[in-house]
Amino acid sequence: MSKLEIADLHVSVADGEERKPILKGVNLAIDSGQTHAVMGRNGSGKSTLAYAVAGHPKYEVTSGQVLLDGRDLLAMSVDERARAGLFLAMQYPVEVPGVSMSNFLRTSVTAVRGEAPKLRPWLKELKEAMASLDIDPSFGERNVNEGFSGGERKRAEILQLELLRPAIAILDETDSGLDVDALRIVSRGINHVAESGETGVLLITHFTRILQYVQPDFVHVFADGRIVAEGGPELAERIEAEGYDQFSVERV
């Protein structure tokens, strides 16, 4: 059982000389085995939450706390956070020229598991994980995210989720840019990990579409850098029916 606790998190980004506050006191707790959806308009601060928790250098935490099983995530480097059990599926996964996917995946899995997987079982594991996400076997020889289509990039992110099996997975707009078939495959991959009960999933999205495939236990609505409404899956249905306008009036 793992627990991610975000308490009164304030985050700024550099905007020229100024520091622009984005997150203005976020409180959120996720247990492994749970699936949470964070919804909100573009610019509401959802992605900032994801990147700040993962430790992207562009974002500065000005106050608040992020604990994973009681350990202070904010005091850790980016890679330490990942080894502590955090995973971030990015909206725009980065190309790394000259580094093959197979080399990258094995290096990553070795770092997170603390030892290099034995070659034969590893190849079998990789092959099965790729097959479950409809990923072509030639994929291992391609360079990390280089020349990948939008759908391939997202499937590659979910492949990493499957292999790394984090305590907490933050999925930043994993549904964006996917057609129906790709969305179905990616959702199946997320559900496979979520159903293990070992991983807590934080699904960041501004559409309700993916929630038809991945059932959230909790829904949090973001506006202007904080959570303005919380509830169960019925909250997503309300957003689908009535949009986000109903929440923005609560601005101070």
Partner 1 sequence: MTGATKATNVDDAVVPDVPPTDLSPSLSSFDAELFEPLTGREESWRFTPLRRLRGLELGNHGQTGLSYLMTGPATVALSKDAAEQVRDRVIAPSDRVAALAWQAVREVAHVAIPANAVSEEPVHVTITATGDATCAGHVLIEAGANSATTVVLDHLGDGAYAGDVTVRLAQGAQLRLASLQQQEPEGVLVSNINAELEADAQLKAVAITLGGDVVRCNTAVRFAGRGGEAVLLGAFFTAAGQHQEHRLFVDHAQPDCRSDVAYKGALAGDKAHSVWVGDVLIRANATGTSTYELNRNLVLTDGARADSVPNLEIETGEVAGAGHAAATGRFDEEQLFYLQSRGIPRGEARRLVVLGFFADVARRIGIEAVADALVATVEERLSEYE
Instruction: List residues binding partner 1 (CB under 8 A).
Output: 54-57, 77-79, 81-83, 87-88, 90, 93-99, 103-104, 107-108, 111-112, 143-144, 160, 164
Which contacts of 233-239 are long-range, i.e. CB under 8 A and separated by 24 or more positions? 236/37, 236/39, 236/208, 236/211, 237/208, 239/39, 239/208
Specify the residue, 164 or 227, whose C-beta has the smaller distance to partner 1: 164
Specify the residue, 78 or 131, whose C-beta has the smaller distance to partner 1: 78
What are the DSSP E strand ranges found in 2-95? 3-15, 18-31, 35-40, 59-68, 71-72, 86-89
- Provide the 8-state DSSP code for 69: T
Q: In angstroms, what is the minimal distance from the CB of 15 to partner 1?
A: 18
Q: Which tokens belong to 32?
A: 């492994």
Specify the residue, 176 or 248, whose C-beta has the smaller distance to partner 1: 176
Q: Which tokens belong to 5?
A: 């606790």
SS3 call for 110: helix
Q: In angstroms, what is the minimal distance from the CB of 60 to partner 1?
A: 15
| d(C-alpha 91, C-alpha 237), whole Å | 24
Q: Which tokens belong to 47?
A: 């992605």
Specify the residue, 200 or 216, whose C-beta has the smaller distance to partner 1: 200
Q: In angstroms, what is the minimal distance from the CB of 82 to partner 1?
A: 4
Q: Which residue has the tokens 């699904």?
A: 203
SS3 call for 28: strand
Specify the residue, 96 or 209, whose C-beta has the smaller distance to partner 1: 96
Specify the residue, 143 or 248, whose C-beta has the smaller distance to partner 1: 143
- Provide the 8-state DSSP code for 228: E
For 118-136, b/e burial (b = at least 16 CB within 10 A) is: eeeebeeebeebbeebebe
Q: In angstroms, what is the minimal distance from the CB of 56 to partner 1?
A: 6
Specify the residue, 81 or 226, whose C-beta has the smaller distance to partner 1: 81
Q: In angstroms, what is the minimal distance from the CB of 99 to partner 1?
A: 4
Q: In angstroms, what is the minimal distance from the CB of 214 to partner 1?
A: 22
Q: In angstroms, what is the minimal distance from the CB of 245 to partner 1?
A: 34
* Strand partners of residue 38: 204, 220
Q: Which tokens belong to 21?
A: 């506050």
